[in-house]
Chain A
Amino acid sequence: MNVAGYVLRRTAIAVVLLVGVTFLTFWFYDLTPIDPARVIIGGDPGRPIPQEQRDIVNHAIGVDRPLTTQYADWAKGVLHGDLGLAWQGLAIDPDNGLFGTSVSAAIMPATWRSLSVVGGGLVLLLALVVPIAALSASRPGSWFDRVTAGLLLVGISTHPLVVGLLLQSLQRRWHWIPWGGYCPIRKPPAGGQTFPGSLEPCYGAANWAGHLLLPWITFTVFFAALYVRVLRTTLLDVLDEPYIATARAKGASEPRVMLRHALRNAMRPILTMTGMEAGMAVSVLLYIEVVFGIGGLGRLSLQAFSGEVGYDRPMILGIVLFIGVAIIGLNLVVDLLYPVIDRRVAVGQDRRRLVVGPAA
């Protein structure tokens, strides 16, 4: 199968999946006893909203029409690149239409923050996982292998929430790095975010990395065990291959065998894991952002989904669509990268057959 055709087919499947996911969200929202007028008007839940006010609001946001019509309207907007206006803080002018924050304007900055957390976390994770797995696999059963396996087991058995909160408690005692929050790399326009004890807005690469250090560590602590385990198992299998014996027979040093021959061929399951654990990463991200006060996608979605500022349907749909696109896109990229990393695999080969699962 050629690459273009494969991408086209996968994209078609992705569109069907996304339509399903968003429609299901629409439907679930409709099933829950949430009152859209209440989300927009707010106020004391005990005091009923006057019927004429309710009618105006429901008509303006379109919830008085059938569910399928509402969905078609929303989907039409998405095709035009418009995710709609958030219900929270929506102003309704019966003559001139609606005014409010657009969902995409809220999602974009949050995305950069979340990407900072996940991207840096992944870099730290790989920087830690590859050497540990290589050392463990070169001497299976050694004290290093056992001690790291034990430590990593503790890491994955502790909730990221607890890890984050513990790191923060340590920080409160020793103050050696910032507790969290987010500092953009580029200088924000006037009136940017300031931190307690400073009047200057916080920005710059060093501040950015410093404030994200604890979130990155939390991310790494949770995922390290999974990655080390998979990479170590694969490395042990690869080291038994004849071509490794050939390399050794040629007189290649052990580090060279590991770095040039074994690691390269053992990276494929790591790539698969990255695709498959993306959903898990979203959950972990949510906890990390809550603990460290980072206004990223996780925090944004928690606000919309938990009713913290009202169950905001356009925001919920925007986030569901966005995360769906991100996860499906990541998995597509992973599948396209296989042949680049491993020449034995052709594009479009079912990767589930290649996975080293927990049962394998």
Chain B
Amino acid sequence: MVAAPASSRDRSGSRVLWTRFKRDRLAVASGVFLTLLVAAIIVGPPIATRILGHGPNDPFPYAVDIYLKPVGPFSRVPDLNTSQSNDPFDLGTAPPGTPTTVLLLGGDGPLGRDMFERLLIGGRVSLEVAFGASLLAVLIGLLLGGLAGYFGGLVDAVVSRLTDFIMAFPLLLLLILLGNTVANDITFVTLHGLLQPGVLSLILLIGLFAWFYPARIVRAEVSALKEREFVESARMIGASEWRILRTHIFPHVVPVLLAYSSFLVASNILIEAGLTFLNVGVRLPTASWGTLLTNAWGTYRNPQPYDPQRMTIWVTIFPTLAILVTAIAWTLFGEGLRRALAPRSR
């Protein structure tokens, strides 16, 4: 609805949508949660660093025990980033009088970094990847699906075959091949610090993997819309093809696509975590929810089954919950949008 010209009819359309959306309390709650989450991961990390006095990548050797098991939530640990002992195998205790700092959610693994701050900054990386990849996929899908649905014929045949082509391709495997080889070249492209290192390559990799489903939705919508009377009448008064697409068709496609993008963001958060396990994710020491999970589970080449002596259960629980709750919130939000768009669906 954003692209549509502001007319009184259009405003009432989006108001109807909002009235319907409001009825779904779960979806509204998800929307509120996601807004808070986005705000927290944008402004949160610098504030947390300022208040707590340490950054997300600072190691605390005294926050792990002799088995390298990190401390649990709400632990005060000596504020030292290097060992003060001459024995490499035994840190001993920190010198008396060392100032302490607090790890709100405990340590993140053998290095004893702050789990809370890494969750915040990691959420930023994960959501950047999920958002960027979804945006890329939806834009490609809108373009290709729109062309195929509107012009039909040869364009449609080409796009449909291309979709079949992508579907027949084990794309995850290709991602692994590319991620392990060429993605290194664009790892450090950060668009002037806007993105974390490695995020752009993940966005490109996942975005190119996910466009075919939105393309299919857009194609179906557009090919149904172009037969409608209002398009006929627009054509009759001499509107150009581009104008019909822009002002008569896209405003109807965009809300449907928004609902779908919400699902896409949820699944991309999961894909990011999975790719990290397969060694194709962001490079350490940058945190993402995927790399936080690999702290607990290892990667596929070096899996670490859960060992209570070596790892606290918190290291698994916090990133898993972060991914789970965020993915569910995006799904419920999308579901609410979808219901608001098609009130008769159950």
- Chain B nearest CB from A57 CB (Å) reads 20
Query: Per-residue 0/1 for B290-321: is the Cβ within 8 Å of any A Cβ (1 yes, 0 no)?
Result: 00010001001101011000000000000010
Q: Knowing A21-B169, A286-B172, A301-B173 touch, does A28 contact B274 (C-beta < 8 A)?
A: no
Q: Knowing A154-B324, A159-B270 touch, does A169 contact B306 (C-beta < 8 A)?
A: yes
- Chain B nearest CB from A43 CB (Å) reads 19
Q: How many residues does chain A have at the interface if contact means C-beta atoms less than 8 Å apart?
A: 59
Q: Which residues of A contact B176 (CB under 8 A)?
A: 302, 305-306
Cα–Cα distance between A20 and B164 once the two chains are bound (Å): 11
Which of A18, A32, A34, A165 counts the most chain B CB atoms within 10 A? A165
- Chain B nearest CB from A331 CB (Å) reads 8
Q: Which residues of A contact B180 (CB under 8 A)?
A: 305-307
Which of A159, A319, A357, A358 counts the most chain B CB atoms within 10 A? A159
Q: Which of B16-24, B36-44, B102-110, B259-267 contacts A (4 or more CB under 8 A)?
A: B259-267
- Chain B nearest CB from A233 CB (Å) reads 7
Query: Per-residue 0/1 for B253-291: is the Cβ within 8 Å of any A Cβ (1 yes, 0 no)?
Result: 000100110010010001001100111000000000000
Q: Which of chain A's residues has its CB closest to B223's CB?
A: A353
B143-175: which have CB < 8 Å to A?
A: 161, 164-165, 167-174
Kindly identify which residue among A159, A276, A282, A359 contacts B274, using a CB–CB cutoff of 8 Å.
A159
Query: Per-residue 0/1 for A1-38: is the Cβ within 8 Å of any B Cβ (1 yes, 0 no)?
Result: 00000000000010001101100110011011110000
- Chain A nearest CB from B174 CB (Å) reads 7
13 further A-B pairs in the complex, CB-CB below 8 A; given A17-B168, A233-B346, A236-B346: A17-B165, A160-B274, A165-B297, A172-B305, A305-B180, A307-B181, A311-B177, A316-B173, A319-B170, A327-B167, A328-B164, A357-B216, A358-B259
Nearest first, the 8 A-B pairs at minimum CB distance are A157-B327, A32-B181, A283-B172, A169-B306, A305-B176, A323-B170, A359-B256, A290-B300
Interfacial residues, chain B to chain A (CB-CB below 8 A): 161, 164-165, 167-174, 176-178, 180-182, 216-217, 220-221, 256, 259-260, 263, 266, 270, 273-274, 277-279, 293, 297, 300-301, 303, 305-306, 320, 323-324, 327-328, 331-332, 338, 341-342, 345-346
Interfacial residues, chain A to chain B (CB-CB below 8 A): 13, 17-18, 20-21, 24-25, 28-29, 31-34, 140, 153-154, 156-162, 165, 168-169, 172, 233, 236, 276, 278-279, 282-283, 286-287, 290-291, 301-302, 305-308, 311, 316, 319-320, 323-324, 327-328, 331, 352-353, 357-360
